[in-house]
Amino acid sequence: MEIEVKNLDHVKIVILTGDLNANTSGEAETKINQLIMGGNRKLIIDLENLNYISSAGLRIFLASNKLIRKMNGEIRFCTLNPTVKEVFEISGFNLIFKLYPDQDSSIASFT
């Protein structure tokens, strides 16, 4: 799992590359929560390069979203590949999170 963070003026973009599963989700959760605890209130998670996501990965998104909402922030997602999109739909994540087809539209949504 590779985790890259892009810093924009008003938003942080977290780009996840690889597999988000039972073994890697802890590392991703730590990084995302560090950003939240560092005062970032607008996070975009880019999933274009995510190979696959399991329920362990979905749970960290729920946990991190719970944390950021306490601080009046929000996590949004962009560029879901077909497999990740199907997992989001099966689990109902497409109904509880805002999803965008690309980075530009997700950035614009926060302005």
Partner 1 sequence: MTLEIANQLREIEKVQIQLVDYLKELPLDDYDRKKIFIAVDEILSNIINYGYDDNERHTIQIRFDATETGMNMEFIDDGKYFDPIHFVRHHLPKVQLDDEKSGGLGLHLVHRLMNQMQYNRVDDKNRLILGLNYTNNNQ
Number of residues in contact with partner 1 under rule CB under 8 A:
27
When the beta carbons of 8 and 22 are compared against partner 1, the nearer one is 22
Is residue 94 part of the contact set for partner 1 (CB under 8 A)?
no
Is residue 53 part of the contact set for partner 1 (CB under 8 A)?
yes
Is residue 106 part of the contact set for partner 1 (CB under 8 A)?
no
When the beta carbons of 17 and 51 are compared against partner 1, the nearer one is 51
Phi/psi of residue 17, nearest 5 degrees: -125, 130
Is residue 90 part of the contact set for partner 1 (CB under 8 A)?
yes
Is residue 62 part of the contact set for partner 1 (CB under 8 A)?
yes
